[in-house]
Structure 1
Amino acid sequence: MKKTAIVLGATGLTGGILLQKLIEDDTYLSIKLFSRSKIEGLPSKVSQYIGDLLNLEQFKADEVYCSIGTTKAKTPDKEVYKQIDYGIPVAAAKLSKENKIDTFLVVSALGANANSSVFYNKTKGEMERDVQKQNIKNTFIFRPSLIGGERKEQRTLEKIGLAIFKVIQPLFIGKLKQYKIIEPDDIAQAMINLANSTSHAEVIITSKDIKRLTKNT
């Protein structure tokens, strides 16, 4: 069966890789992008809806992939930050429920906890909680650790953090494995594999699970 996918966050690192994989996948006849800026050079199977991230009339598909996210450096205003990291995924989940979309996949973060005293973790945790409240049949929440890969914008502190993590990763054994750097390509592939599988009951997908799911084709 040919499918239609909605993608939110295609201008980001993980979302961009996800979009390319969906374009190359013949399972997907149509891809709808909702974003604030246009991506040039996309094939005809991709439709772009610019400005209105959540166009109710066009928000119809078989699956929704949401990798929306910002950073403290890009969005220092906490209210605006929450509108993005919490508001958009939750609104998308509500629209998915309203439009009877049965599969919703969203990228969160390791440490997400609605009761956390850390603003970032709390925001992600509240997002997860309220996405799950929609009771969409196939809801999958991805909690990657530090995400590797090359970004368009310069993030000095993040580059330092990645460099340090790469050095100490061999020490991450047992429960510490979940803190290993995860590549955005692995996240994107795991999302697609999970969306096209009926054999996984997980709702919360950690970095360890993400790596495993890349092998399930």
Structure 2
Amino acid sequence: MKKIAFISGTSGLIGMQLLHQLIKGNEYDSIISVGRRKLALKHDKLVQITGDLAGLKSWNLEEKLRSEDIGGIYFPLVQAIKDQMVVIHAYCSLGTTIKAAGSKEKFYQVDHDLVINFASWVKKQGATKLMYVSSMGADPMSSVFYSKVKGETEEDLKVFSFDYLGIMQPSILLGSRNEFRLGEEVAKILMKPLVWFKLLKKYRPIHDYQVAKAMIHHANEPKQVKVEVISSAMIQDF
């Protein structure tokens, strides 16, 4: 059986690392990137399908794949999916900031609604496992809007009853972002000693590639639980 990875959020810090690790690794035969626009990246294993993610639930996967198919090279992939001769895992690192989104409402549309749309759609395609990048401190009852939204998203993802839902809760992320986040950069500087002296694993900053590698590891490891919250400390251990 072919193994396929669906991934969304590839323009973000973890998403870029995740795509890199998926392409470099041998866990999957094909990688289907789901996004608003195409990345300037080509690889034999990578297929990019694009469109308005707000309407993702109505996307027809076969039509999307055929529209990208030059010379019939994706025919075996399309046929395998149609015949359900595939194992599908999904990876979601969709997310933004209130500043970048422009308002709390638009932030919620990205960090909650688009994530739920993706989960619903990949479940429909036959995905058995979903790995989701949340955040340390996520709590639907939190007084902090960011943490509250992340917590609500975690809870709503559980409703889909994947065979396995892995919820990553990393601390502050180290890596090269496309956008500048002042608060995050200040926090990185203040918390650098925790990295140098390997103190307080739960709180110290963590590299983007560590999160990406841990996601792939947990998705491909046999699991006895349906939902697992993977803390920043657990990612550090990995």
| TM-score normalised by length of structure 2 | 0.81
Structure 2 Cα separation of the partners of residues 89 and 8 of structure 1: 9
Structure with the greater alpha carbon radius of gyration: 2
Aligned to 2:134: 108
Aligned to 1:38: 38
Answering whether residue 171 of structure 2 is matched by residue 145 of structure 1, we say yes
Aligned to 1:11: 11
Distance 1:172 1:46, change over 3 A: closer
Q: Which moves more between the two structures, 128-137 or 150-159?
A: 150-159
Structure 1 Cα separation of the partners of residues 2 and 132 of structure 2: 22
Choose from 114, 138, 141 the match for 1:88: 114
Aligned to 1:208: 233
Structure 2 Cα separation of the partners of residues 51 and 85 of structure 1: 18
Question: What percent identity do the matched residue pairs reach?
Answer: 34
Aligned to 1:196: 220
Distance 1:50 1:96, change over 3 A: closer
Matches within 5 A, 1:44-123: 44-53=44-53, 54=56, 56-58=59-61, 62-123=88-149
Preserved CA contact (<8 Å) 1:179 1:207: yes
Answering whether residue 205 of structure 2 is matched by residue 181 of structure 1, we say yes
Preserved CA contact (<8 Å) 2:172 2:184: no
Preserved CA contact (<8 Å) 1:194 1:200: no
**Does the residue aligned with 2:11 lie in a helix, a strand or coil?**
coil
Structure 2 Cα separation of the partners of residues 44 and 172 of structure 1: 39
| 1:33-90 superposed Cα distances (whole Å, 9 cap, x missing partner) | 1111211132132111122333642297611000001012211311110010001111
- Structure 1 residue 158: deviation in Å? 1.9
- Structure 1 residue 26: deviation in Å? 2.4
Unaligned residue ranges in structure 1 (runs of 5+): none
| TM-score normalised by length of structure 1 | 0.89
Preserved CA contact (<8 Å) 2:34 2:48: yes
**Does the residue aligned with 2:166 lie in a helix, a strand or coil?**
strand
Q: Which moves more between the two structures, 87-96 or 190-199?
A: 87-96
Q: Which moves more between the two structures, 29-38 or 193-202?
A: 193-202
Q: Which moves more between the two structures, 64-73 or 196-205?
A: 196-205
- Structure 1 residue 167: deviation in Å? 2.9
Preserved CA contact (<8 Å) 1:146 1:180: yes
Distance 1:180 1:114, change over 3 A: same
Preserved CA contact (<8 Å) 2:3 2:28: yes
Distance 1:74 1:198, change over 3 A: same
| 1:138-164 superposed Cα distances (whole Å, 9 cap, x missing partner) | 110000011111212222332121111
Equivalences, count: 211
**Does the residue aligned with 2:91 lie in a helix, a strand or coil?**
strand
Structure 1 Cα separation of the partners of residues 120 and 215 of structure 2: 20
Distance 1:200 1:165, change over 3 A: farther
**Does the residue aligned with 2:100 lie in a helix, a strand or coil?**
coil
Q: Please tell me the root mean square deviation across aligned C-alpha atoms, in Å.
A: 2.1
Unaligned residue ranges in structure 2 (runs of 5+): 63-80, 82-86
Structure 1 Cα separation of the partners of residues 160 and 2 of structure 2: 26
